[in-house]
Structure 1
Amino acid sequence: MPSRREFLSSASLAATGLALAPLVACSRDSGAGAGTPAAGAAQGAAAAAGAMLTRPIPSTGELIPVIGAGTSGSYEVPLASPEYSALKEVVRIFFEGGGSVIDTSPNYDNAEDVVGALLDEGGWRKRCFLATKLAADNRPALEAQWADSLRRLRTDKVELLAIHNLRNLAEAMPYARELKAQGLVKYIGLTHFQDNRHADLLQAMTAEKPDFIQVNYSVGSPAAASTLLPAAADQGVAVMVNRAFEDGKLFAEVGGRALPGWAAEAGIGSWAQMFLKFVISHPAVTVVIPATGKPERQADQLMAGHGALLTQAQQDEVVAIFI
């Protein structure tokens, strides 16, 4: 397993290489449209210009792109619907723009069905780092849920299986380890999404030594940086970040506010990119999983994986907007 120093060094080298990659210029008007998904998506094709930043999974060194996709809400749509048709374009943009990590859960209504159909119909499965979760209260229910997840996802294995919100950890974690030993799961993880459960997640991470944790971290809720993120780096655990937009609350708070003057230097053309760039600027973060069902927003979000990362001073300045 790579040491913390090796892990952070790899992240730094990857970021340096990315900063040197050619990028397509983004429109950064100072008018009302600046900092919106439409402004950033004007460069939608730019996601393919230069490689997206990748980070290593500490337990193996496998590299994954820093911008992934969540499925809560946005992928909970009827299969025969305009929303599903839009998602076909979303996933095309995602994979062709360099993304690979898609995170879902049996708890997200029919999201697993939608993900499975999209990957199957588009032929994307081999390019997808597929993550789902266990969330049941006894062993028979866990086994039935896992079998159902495979059926719904139209696959025979997944890259990451996490224990959803630490639910039934005593039974779920041993079962996940069994599946990993059988080669049905490549990595196992633990998740939560609330600041007041960070201590519990830290305790479980230290005791269980998973490959991944998933935790909330954003400009409006940066608490994970004081405890969980450094601990994950020290323990060689990959970090997947959820709620980077705080369910859209952050966009409401910035309103029509212009981006900071230095945003252009970091290749940032929208507030979505700013929020995501903040997250991945922490060297312990492996991947962030924003959710969207809109093609133009998917193109915009991918751009956060390009260009320079934020300095500590820039991160502090953005956080100060929300405190």
Structure 2
Amino acid sequence: MPDLNLLITLDVLLTEGSVARAAQRLRLSPSAMSRALARLRETTGDPLLVRAGRGLVPTPRALALREQVSRLVQEAQAVLRPAQSLDLGQVTRTFTLRASEEFVENLGPALLARIAQDAPFVRLRFVNKTDNDYALLREGRVDLAIGVVDPGASPEVLTQALFRDRLVGVVRSGHPLSQGEVSAARFAQGQHVYVSRRGLQRGQVDDALQAQGFARDISTIVAGFATAIALARDTDLIASVPERYTAHQREGLYSFALPVAIPTFTVAMLWHPRLDADLAHRWLRGCLREVCGQ
């Protein structure tokens, strides 16, 4: 009968793609991990990971197994985890959260403090937003995603609203727009930095300005709000950024309500139904709701 512990080893090896990193994660020596890989190769009849340059790449069989192995390991862990009660003080677990750097910087400190109250051995691992968040949730590589819900979100993913936010304008202290009323005409006359993770050339603000007969000059496009604010701090560029998401980054700058009607938006958390009844995950979702509701 095959050793089922090898499933855990295989899951970590396929996730890390490195014998050294997998050994570190499982707290094994590199030689012990190499022996485990040799046993896995013998058991499956496939090399699984083969050398390419300085690293290792998975074989087609390994790629085919990856999602199935991950699911089996998670289901096994769920079977062995207490279902009715949870001693948070003894929970040793790392949760992976997909969130923007702005979210981590502005709400991370309060979330970490809240978690430390109940569960000192719980660790959070934050990763940046990617284009395949729903696949990451399904595969179990991300436990919780935080962001604006995409209308095309996978129907299998569960969502819950955390807070509403709106776009505001921000300029350096002493910028012409920091004095007097900011009209649509004055706003459009300046030079703007536009935030687009997907490389778009225009957005809702431009549509709203066009409806009033104005067009703004976008001289710079960046991938993140923190970068846009940093540019606005040291130039005459005007940035349009989420108000609550960027509270810390905007300190010392002049913020103002946009002179065009832009709908507010909801920031939510998303997770896979597989984790919905997991007590520790349920507790983590409660911590997020609490922190974001303050």
Q: What is the TM-score of this pair, normalised by structure 1?
A: 0.22
Higher relative contact order (CA 8 A, sep 6+): 1
Greater radius of gyration (CA): 2
Q: What is the TM-score of this pair, normalised by structure 2?
A: 0.24
More helix by share: 1
More strand by share: 2
